[in-house]
Structure 1
Amino acid sequence: MKRRTSIRLLVALGLLIVLLFGLDWAFPLPPTPRYSPLVLAADGTVLHAYLNPTQKWRMKSELQDITSALRAAIIEKEDRYFRWHFGVNPVAVVQAAGRNVLGHGRTTGASTITMQVARLLEPKERTLGNKLVEMLRAVQLEAHYSKDEILQLYLNLVPYGGNIEGVKSAALLYFQQPPHYLSLAQTVTLAIIPNRPTSLVLGRDNGRIMQERNRWLRRFGREKLFPPKDIADALLEPLDAQRHAAPTLAPHLARRLVRQFPREAIIQSTLQRSQQARAEDLTRNYVRRLHELGITQAAVLVVNNPTRQVEAYVGSADFRDFAGQGQNDGITAIRSPGSTLKPFLYALALDRGLVTPKLLLPDVPTNFQGYRPENFDKHCQGEVTLERALAYSLNIPAVRVLQEVGVPTFTEQLRRAGFRSITRNRAQLGLSSILGGCGASLEELTGLYAALANGGRYAELRLRAPHPPAPSPPGEGEPEENIERSRLTPPLPEGRGPGGGVPREVQLASPAAAFLVTDILSQLTRPDLPINATSSLRLPKIAWKTGTSYGRRDAWSIGYNKEYTIGVWVGNFSGQGAPTLTGADVATPLLFDLFNTLAYNSPNNWFAPPAALDFRLVCAETGLVPGENCPNQIIDYFLPNVSSGRRCQHQREVLVSEDGAFAYCRACAPAAGYRRVLYPNLLPEVAAYKEAQGISYRRLPPHNPQCQLVRGGAERAPSITSPLPNTEYVLDRHEHQQLLLSCTTDSEVRQVHWYVNDQFLRTANATERVFFRPSPGPLKISCADDHGRNVDVQVLITEQ
């Protein structure tokens, strides 16, 4: 009998459990509320807050936001048996029923904190039936959530008047502090308002609220809820609460992160609040001074080099500047990078042994298979060292180096550095990409320079901290000086983007190449130094590079030291250029101000040469390893087993007649009556430039006119620089336009002979520019030098 009774009880219990699960499944709990998206700084403070989809300020309080004082005050005031009941307090229900029926005492509903959460999740008219539903929901909540989670829900949903809900919203909007930074008096103030949100309005009824606050403080004191000294201090604290605007720092990054993580109520960024505020102020005030120059916008990105964390993100000078399109994000906008990619190109060339800092590069007008770049100032210097070419941002030497490195090699490295636009358009890129003929964003460029600051190691920039720290006010928990160190989050697995942790590092350049480029970019003898900067005592110790896009539409200046990399873009989001819009004139002054303000206390150490670097003597005339005729030698850095060991041949031995009137080749040299003389061994284009500019140099005398042998081969033949081969020229028949003929030749060539469709046109000096009016149709242009070497190009002439 007992066994049968036990079985029946077990069956009944089982059926009850099934019934309860069935009811729970049939009547699920309401969905969790939609919170106001919050973007936090690295220290956990709120940078930017948004209204939730129902246009309410409902900011989510995490468990660590709920201080022990707030827990104690809320539980003591609202539901002192909260920790022990199952959602409904039977004793309170009986007491409330008695008072309500008998009419003795204050009418109450015996609502527990859990029952209030149920009502806040499903607001209903206050009736007896709805009260029973509320009780059932409370039991259901207790089955699904822990006590702490229920308390958290309550504190996130309690009303504070108007469109403000939750303790965190009230703390930020009325006291401008997160809940865990509030004093005891402020905490108790927020604990007493939810029951009377319309009659006790902060900022309007501060006097009445203070009286009610003090009444509860005395009660808490009598119940020894808080120490007497804390109660006494709280009673003396004035109440100066006013409605404030929600935090709006870093609006561009906040919008970006909220769009990237739309389901997360709290997103912690890597930004440093003080750095962000100062960067925004500096940028806004600086651009305000540029308005009269037709310049309306700027963007700034500040990166901590060791951690790759972005500490300041300024997408525009003023997010609310609708006339200047201030809501555009200048950090991610794709624009022409100007000359800002040159340091990276030279680092690649150094690693491939193609160049060293003292190597001389031709800086003369050059036709690179149809592409004819010009320097920014429209002038050439003949020959310059690599370090001068980079420091002075010369265009022609950079294009020549890119031709040697190879465009595919260069763009592949940029792809590894996360350049999205270049990755998409690699097939269309050519030599012009080094001068801004490609697209890049400030974020990509700043990340690339951060790689140079980290010995050539690239890693994606970090915009988001993957694991928010538990915030605690100074004096609670860990010491204040150790808080920041604990918030440096570890790397995440490979492949994580800027919204998460650090992905794998990519070695784009060797530490040696990165150091050499840094050493050049830190020199102060350069044309892009701002006016009066050399006399300034606040000139920061940084390496930096400027850039200006075609049409003066974009001005760039990106600099770094060991601690920080800062990128600056200045311009107009409309794409309109301005006469004064250059990297040196308008971007670098802001860069210097940012370094002096944000990194003024950076350690005063600088980059040290890596062990892989060494010194060697080179010829001062070429920068190559000295040959037989190199009396002037200087010291230069080089990469052992990498840098070229090519010997200098800046002078070559030539056989000339006794009077120096003719030169002989080995085939026509007489048995006697000649001398061996050293002459400059210039590249043909450099010799042609010196001739055209009237720069004196020891030119090789003409070849022996009695020589019957044709010397040389195709490699020493003239090179036609105009017209361009396989090109169509459209001429206006009414303007009588002419076609230019020009070429470069070997230094010993005196004259050249021009032919059009195999018909002789005229003889000219080797460096002379010849013009003629061609007839429409296909043309064969031929050039022969006075040594019998010939070259042809084909062009098409049309008239309109």
Structure 2
Amino acid sequence: MLSKKMSNWRELVKRLWRKRLTKAVLTTFSLFLLLDLLFPLNTRVPYSTLIISRDGQILHAFLSRDDKWRMYAELPEITPTLRNAILFKEDKYFYYHPGFNPVAMLRAAGRNLLTGRRTSGASTITMQTVRLLEPRKRTYLSKAIELFRAIQLEWHYSKDEILQLYLNLIPYGGNIEGLKSASLLYFGKPPQLLSLAELTTLTIIPNRPSSLRLGHSNARIVQERNRWLTRFRTAGLYNDATIADALTEPLTAYRREAPQQAPHLARRLRTDHPDTPIVRASVRADAQATAERIVQNYANRLRGLAIHNAAVLIVDNATREIVAYVGSADFRNAFDGGQVDGVRAVRSPGSALKPLLYGLAFDAGIITPKTKLADVPTNFSGYEPDNYDRRFNGPVTAEFALANSLNIPAVALLNELGTSSFVSALGKAGFVSVKKQAKDLGLSLVLGGCGVTLEEMTRLYVGLANGGQVKPIHLTASSATKEVPASGAEETVLSPEATYLVTQTLVQITRPDLPNNFDNSYHLPRIAWKTGTSYGRRDAWSIGYNRRYTVGVWVGNFSGVGVAELSGANTATPLLFQLFNALDYNSPSGWFRPPTNLSHRLICPETGDVPGDSCHHPVTDAFIMGVSRYRPCQHRKAIWTNAAGTISYCAHCRPADAVRRLYPNLAPNVLAFYQTQRIPFRTVPPHNPACERVYGDAGPLITSLNDRSEYYINPRQPAELELGCQAGSDVKTVFWYLNDKFYRRATPTEAVFFKPRPGPLKISCADDRGRHSDLHVLVKAE
């Protein structure tokens, strides 16, 4: 009976004890959670910003906000060799304790009490990390706080994360903190490439950063390193051969400069990603180093010509990632503005925008490669552009005009296409300054009368290399949104067909912007490229592309001072060729393939139009099916004259014995050019002075279409109809109307074309005297 009572009593005591113990644990845990909530541990540390290349090399390093070299080591950089060494030396039971080691604490307390002084510590890596985060005086209260903080750290982070944080904070003397900083600044390599001897060296420095200074007391450091290597061998941490090699390895550590490659890109990325310790740039370290070297050497050769600056941007066409970014020839050259980022500086593009204009004209159906354009003196409402060489070529093909960068045909195309359409296309392509200046831009826009950046220009040509699709180009290896231009996402600026026609024109080498230097043209890479020289010779551009890369080059002075020798052909293009030859000479990627909607047809070489009755030697030309205009050639016109060919007749006054003759159908500006240049051509004889129809009070006589007639067209590919008239000698301008809607103005002798639509059509022609005439026709679909 007594035994049973005793047993019940013990059971009751056990239950009460368990209950109180559970209550105590829950109370302690609740108190910990409350304190953790009230006094959170701040583990945010200002790290140095590292700019890493796409292939993992450190390009550029910046001091942290508190002026420390404190570089962030990622988990993969903590190798097993490094982990074993640091844990053996600092905390063997790191992966087993909750932030503090009670056995080590009791042992240290006993030794300290017996000796009356501090002979050993019991700080774990977790507690040391807390001390590095929150330095305090070494007191018992501080120890208690560190103990609480260590438990906090273990509560919120994994063991690997705590070890990573510890290795990022350990001191190495001066303003160097963290094993990665010491590895890079003393050994010139990342932690994962360190040898065992180098790793051991870096594990012993943090305990004595003042007395063991790398580069100053290397002999003492070697003795301490070898002592620890011997302990590693005794503990069997590494094999004997590895230890033997480490013991004999010399210590050559010294203080190095932090990496300073790609300075302009690095500063831009640090601004875009201010709180990111490691920014992974899209550039390739080898391509960046090569580009910087070539640009600097080339700029040094130009200094004798008073040309001091250059900028280069290289983009991978497939990924649209920047491969190399050179903002200036020498970042350290403060006298010549070396810290100016030439990639983002707003400059005048010269003629470098012409490929986009011609591409838009191809897409609008206005021209094909062999369409004839007039390179003659022309007045565009008071604006009279001139060519670069101050010469005129007369009628030239569109591909010749683009390849030779003729100004007057380009301005004439822009005038026909419309400045607003060109500005809209530039806006879609991401030209920020052009969008801002849109209201003030005129016909000089295509000759460089606007502001652009090298980045914008290169992005446009990347679009040409990608079938007219303009997308953002990326500064980082991932598709970050910081560098997305104002234009936003992908924009279709040109069709693949128009882009291909432009590319085939820009790949020609029989052109004036080929450098007149044998060394540069001897190893000419197969690329499509276009040059540009701004007004006053302040900016020289050369931008080229093949299947793999697009390279943009700008050469000039950041001060804006012009130089007589500066030109896109002879100053910027040689640098472009050097970069392509170094980067992608004899590219295996092949060349661009023609789109399926691009075909060929016979055309008259005199006009580029579909051959007519008077075209006897047609040639082949490319055209975009369903887009390029289908206009019969009118390079000659039939005129009725007398037998002697001295008087011409109209339909109203033509006698029965009139003779039909063919005469050149020249535009007024070409006619004037031939006359001033004394180029012989067959002229139309004066009109019959006795004709009353033209010189009476009636309006201009519409001669091209017959009143009350029917015309049949192919709806899928309608042929253009010609509008022509005869007017009095006092008439300078006529105005054409289609169904009472103004169509366009022209000179009386100018041939005007339009695409008809099925249905009734009223055609009206009015002269500048207020007289007009009408006719009605019916257009039917076949």
TM-score range, shorter chain: 0.7 to 0.9
Aligned to 2:248: 236
Quick one: structure 1 residues 127 and 254, their matched pair in 2 at CA, closer, same or farther if it must change by over 3 Å? same
Residue identity in the other structure for 2:323: E
Aligned to 1:641: 626
* Offset of residue 651 of structure 1: 0.4
CA contact (8 A) 1:301 1:567 kept: yes
Aligned to 1:255: 267
Residue identity in the other structure for 1:693: Q
Aligned to 2:358: 346
Could you give the per-residue CA deviations for residues 433-487 of structure 1, whole angstroms, max 9, x where no partner exists? 1111121111011011011111112211011123xxxxxxxxxxxxxxxxxxxxx
Q: Which ranges of structure 1 fall in alignment gaps of 5 or more residues?
A: 467-490, 717-745, 755-765, 767-787, 793-800
- How does the TM-score come out when normalised to structure 2? 0.86
Aligned to 2:420: 408
Quick one: structure 1 residues 694 and 259, their matched pair in 2 at CA, closer, same or farther if it must change by over 3 Å? same
User: Is 1:630 the counterpart of 2:615 in the alignment?
Assistant: yes
Residue identity in the other structure for 1:524: I
Quick one: structure 1 residues 133 and 544, their matched pair in 2 at CA, closer, same or farther if it must change by over 3 Å? same
Q: Give, in whole Å, the separation in 1 of the partners of 2:606 and 2:315.
A: 41
Quick one: structure 1 residues 283 and 714, their matched pair in 2 at CA, closer, same or farther if it must change by over 3 Å? farther
Q: Give, in whole Å, the separation in 2 of the partners of 1:132 and 1:587.
A: 68
2:577 aligned residue (589, 592, 609): 592
Q: Give, in whole Å, the separation in 2 of the partners of 1:307 and 1:527.
A: 33
Name the SS for the 1:575 alignment partner.
coil
Aligned to 1:145: 157
Aligned to 2:649: 664
Please give the root-mean-square deviation of Cα atoms over the aligned residues, in Å.
2.6
* Offset of residue 321 of structure 1: 1.1
CA contact (8 A) 1:463 1:499 kept: no
1:126 aligned residue (118, 134, 138): 138
* Offset of residue 379 of structure 1: 1.8
Quick one: structure 1 residues 498 and 713, their matched pair in 2 at CA, closer, same or farther if it must change by over 3 Å? farther
Quick one: structure 1 residues 282 and 699, their matched pair in 2 at CA, closer, same or farther if it must change by over 3 Å? same
1:515 aligned residue (480, 500, 508): 500
User: Is 1:568 the counterpart of 2:580 in the alignment?
Assistant: no
Residue identity in the other structure for 2:688: N
Q: Give, in whole Å, the separation in 2 of the partners of 1:694 and 1:534.
A: 41
1:653 aligned residue (617, 628, 638): 638
1:51 aligned residue (39, 63, 69): 63
CA contact (8 A) 1:221 1:227 kept: yes
Residue identity in the other structure for 1:312: A
User: Is 1:608 the counterpart of 2:620 in the alignment?
Assistant: no
Q: Give, in whole Å, the separation in 1 of the partners of 2:567 and 2:273.
A: 37
Alignment of 1:537-576 (within 5 A): 537-576=522-561
Residue identity in the other structure for 2:609: L
CA contact (8 A) 2:352 2:531 kept: yes
Name the SS for the 1:710 alignment partner.
helix
* Offset of residue 503 of structure 1: 7.4
Name the SS for the 2:206 alignment partner.
coil
Give % identity: 54
* Offset of residue 105 of structure 1: 11
Name the SS for the 2:209 alignment partner.
coil
Could you give the per-residue CA deviations for residues 546-584 of structure 1, whole angstroms, max 9, x where no partner exists? 011111111110000101000001111111111111111
CA contact (8 A) 1:557 1:584 kept: yes
Q: Give, in whole Å, the separation in 1 of the partners of 2:106 and 2:21.
A: 29
User: Is 1:676 the counterpart of 2:660 in the alignment?
Assistant: yes
Residue identity in the other structure for 1:42: R
Residue identity in the other structure for 2:243: I
CA contact (8 A) 2:547 2:589 kept: no
* Offset of residue 18 of structure 1: 2.6
Could you give the per-residue CA deviations for residues 39-63 of structure 1, whole angstroms, max 9, x where no partner exists? 1100122111111112110011111
Name the SS for the 1:709 alignment partner.
helix
Q: Give, in whole Å, the separation in 2 of the partners of 1:665 and 1:112.
A: 109
- How does the TM-score come out when normalised to structure 1? 0.84
Quick one: structure 1 residues 99 and 5, their matched pair in 2 at CA, closer, same or farther if it must change by over 3 Å? closer
* Offset of residue 317 of structure 1: 0.8
Alignment of 1:239-638 (within 5 A): 239-466=251-478, 496-498=481-483, 504-533=489-518, 536-600=521-585, 602-603=587-588, 605-638=590-623
Quick one: structure 1 residues 45 and 376, their matched pair in 2 at CA, closer, same or farther if it must change by over 3 Å? same
Deviation larger for 383-392 or 89-98:
89-98
Residue identity in the other structure for 2:95: R
Q: Give, in whole Å, the separation in 2 of the partners of 1:173 and 1:791.
A: 85
* Offset of residue 228 of structure 1: 2.7
Q: Give, in whole Å, the separation in 2 of the partners of 1:399 and 1:357.
A: 17
Aligned length: 702
Quick one: structure 1 residues 314 and 188, their matched pair in 2 at CA, closer, same or farther if it must change by over 3 Å? same
Aligned to 2:35: 23
Q: Give, in whole Å, the separation in 2 of the partners of 1:534 and 1:702.
A: 58
User: Is 1:697 the counterpart of 2:681 in the alignment?
Assistant: yes
Q: Give, in whole Å, the separation in 1 of the partners of 2:699 and 2:37.
A: 91
Aligned to 1:82: 94
Quick one: structure 1 residues 447 and 616, their matched pair in 2 at CA, closer, same or farther if it must change by over 3 Å? same
CA contact (8 A) 2:322 2:475 kept: yes
CA contact (8 A) 2:272 2:482 kept: no
Q: Give, in whole Å, the separation in 1 of the partners of 2:769 and 2:556.
A: 47
CA contact (8 A) 1:309 1:461 kept: yes
Quick one: structure 1 residues 444 and 303, their matched pair in 2 at CA, closer, same or farther if it must change by over 3 Å? same
CA contact (8 A) 1:116 1:154 kept: yes
Aligned to 1:169: 181
Aligned to 1:479: none
* Offset of residue 77 of structure 1: 0.7
* Offset of residue 26 of structure 1: 2.5
Name the SS for the 1:558 alignment partner.
strand
Q: Which ranges of structure 2 fall in alignment gaps of 5 or more residues?
A: 1-11, 703-723, 733-746, 748-765, 771-782
* Offset of residue 658 of structure 1: 1.4
Q: Give, in whole Å, the separation in 1 of the partners of 2:700 and 2:63.
A: 74
Q: Give, in whole Å, the separation in 1 of the partners of 2:380 and 2:193.
A: 65
